[in-house]
Chain A
Amino acid sequence: MSRDVYVFCEQRDGVIQNVSYELIGKARELAADLGQQVVGILAGSNIGELPAKLIARGADKVIVADKPILEHYSTKPYTDVVVQVVHEYQPEIVLFGASSIGRDLAPAVSASVHTGLTADCTGLAIGDLVRTVNNAKDKAKSDACIAALGQDVDVVDNSRVVKDRAGNEIPIVNVQYTYHKQLRMTRPAFGGNIIATIVCLQHRPQMATVRPGVMQALEADETRTGEVITLNCDPTNNLEVLETVKSAKASKDITESKILVSAGRGMGSAEKLCEVQALAEALEGDVSGSRAVVDAGWLEKDRQVGQTGKTVRPDLYVACGISGAIQHAAGMENSGYIIAINKEETAPIFDIADLGIVGDVHAILPKLADAINKYKANK
Chain B
Amino acid sequence: MKIVVCMKQVPDTTEVKIDPVTNTLIRDGVPAIINPDDKCGIEAALEIKERVPGTTVTVVTMGIPAAESALREALAMGCDEAVLLTDRKLAGADTWATSCAVAGAVQKLGADLVICGRQAIDGDTAQVGVQIAIHMGIPVTTYVEKLVDVNEQSITVQRQYEDRYQTVRMRYPCLITAIGDLNKPRYMSVGGCWDAYAKEIKIMTYADIADVADESNMGLAGSPTYVATSTTKEAKGAGTVLKDLSPDEAVAAIVDKLAAMHII
Task: Point out residues on A near B: beta carbons under 8 Å.
Answer: 12, 72-76, 79, 99-101, 103-104, 106-108, 110-112, 114-120, 129, 131, 138, 184, 188-203, 238-247, 251, 259, 283, 315-316, 326, 333, 337-339, 341, 345, 348, 350-360, 363-364, 367-368, 371-372, 375-376, 379
Contacts and interface: CB of A to CB of B under 8 A. Distances in A.
Given A116-B224, A247-B165, A368-B250, 13 more contacts: A12-B164, A104-B142, A107-B131, A110-B127, A110-B224, A111-B135, A138-B221, A188-B233, A198-B226, A316-B261, A337-B263, A353-B239, A357-B242
Contact of B223 (A116, A191, A352, A379): A116
A111 B231 CA distance: 28
A315 B263 contact: yes
By CB atoms of chain B within 10 A, which of A110, A351, A358 has the most?
Answer: A110
Contact of B96 (A117, A184, A356): A117
B45 to A, nearest CB: 19
Contacts of A371: 251-252, 255
A190 B226 contact: no
B257 interface: yes
Contact of A350 (B160, B233, B241, B263): B241
B142 A246 contact: no
Return the 5 tightest CB-CB contacts between A and B, nearest first.
A116-B224, A111-B134, A116-B225, A358-B243, A356-B241
A104 B161 CA distance: 11
Nearest to B171: A239
Interface in B2-23: 14, 16, 18, 23
Given A110-B127, A358-B242, A364-B250, A116 B96 contact: yes
Interface stretch (B47-55, B56-64, B73-81, B118-126): B118-126
B128 to A, nearest CB: 8
Contacts of B123: 119, 189
A197 B232 CA distance: 11
Contacts of A107: 95, 125-131, 134
B143 A104 contact: yes
A199 B253 contact: no
A359 B131 contact: no
B247 interface: yes
B222 to A, nearest CB: 10
A109 to B, nearest CB: 9
Nearest to B234: A195
Contacts, number: 247
B68 interface: no
A122 to B, nearest CB: 10
B225 A119 contact: no
Nearest to A352: B236
B258 interface: yes
B35 interface: no
B207 to A, nearest CB: 20
Interface in B93-120: 94-96, 99
Contacts of B99: 111
A375 B162 contact: no
A247 B228 contact: no
Contacts of B162: 99-100, 251
Contact of A112 (B134, B240, B255): B134
Contacts of A357: 241-243, 245, 250, 253-254
Nearest to B13: A191
Contacts of A239: 139, 141, 168-171, 174
Contact of B139 (A76, A101, A119, A354): A76
